Amino acid sequence: MKTRFESFAGLSVAIITPFKNGQVDYKTLQDQVEFQIAAGTTAVVPVGTTGESPTLSFDEHERVLRAVVEAAKGKIKVMAGSGANSTQEALHLTQFTQKVGADAALVVAPYYNKPTQEGLFQHYKLLAQSVDIPICIYNIPGRCARNIEPETIIRLAQFPNIGMVKEATGSMDQTSSIIANTNLTVLSGDDSLTLPLLALGARGIVSVVGNIIPKDMIALCNAFENGNIEKAQEWHYKTYSLCRDMLALSTNPIPIKAAMKMLGRDTGELRLPLTTLSETEEQKLQKTLQNYGLLS
């Protein structure tokens, strides 16, 4: 079944924002994009949750996005985080996303203020009518304290550029309802649920573990796409162990940044209120990476 924005099918990676001595490390940021280009990733997703967007200033947010678009150079798509719990802030960021040349905007549900379903509809409607680029609705009630109900997403599908949903509710019923009633391109928002959602009709994943194992996540998606279910299951169970043992250690992006530090690809530096793993947690993570074959 063809969906609205098939060009975003496959692996998108929610990339980190690297810091060095408290400042954004733009060289390392662009190296992360090059790493994903070399892996064959469909899209990079900067300035999202994994990119610590809540602690970036507006200026940093815009500079990070410019740097990523520059590094992408048309070789990889850019779907930029542009959500906020203020509709006017989300509008500013989404319009900037279009202006700077990103391919799509990832717009998380407004958080903390818990809008009604009508409020959510009006929020996304305004954004959709203000830009031309594709918008991906990011539904993650665990962080936002409000679920965007399937009925609301189905209503929003009337706007042509609301074309994707990053589905992180963990509900198979919700995903099924969206896919059964729209042609929206659904992307898994949970690494460990990639295969189950693909089986329902999702078209890919916005991944955290893709920061370190993009080729494996691509292999999982490709195996399913090619009808090799047994191979897709093998990749699911291999990557599942990493997702379970790494991402369960602490709040995202704490574990993935720690893993990238161990692999020599980041400083592991975070901005408060996020803090680093404890010594015991680091030991567990090191063993997890060794078991996966990423560390000797």
Mutual angle of helices 117-128 and 87-100, in 10-degree steps:
30
296 three-state secondary structure = coil
Across 241-268, b (16+ Cβ under 10 Å) vs e yields ebbebbbebbebbbbbbbbbbbeebbeb
CA 66 to chain centre: 18
Q: Cβ(79)–Cβ(52) under 8 Å?
A: no
Options 77, 166, 257, 292, the catalytic residue? 166
The strand ranges marked E within the chain are 10-14, 19-20, 23-24, 43-45, 77-81, 104-108, 135-139, 162-167, 185-188, 204-207
Catalytic, 261? Answer: no
Options 26, 138, 257, 292, the catalytic residue? 138
Question: What token pair was written down for 291?
Answer: 């078991």
Catalytic, 138? Answer: yes
Q: Rounded to whole angstroms, how far apart are CA atoms 193 and 199?
A: 10
Look at residues 132, 165, 153 and name the one whose alpha carbon lies nearest to residue 8: 165
Look at residues 183, 196, 240 and name the one whose alpha carbon lies nearest to residue 217: 240
Beta bridge pairs of residue 108: 138
Pairing outcome for strands 162-167 and 135-139: parallel
Q: Which residues are catalytic?
A: 138, 166
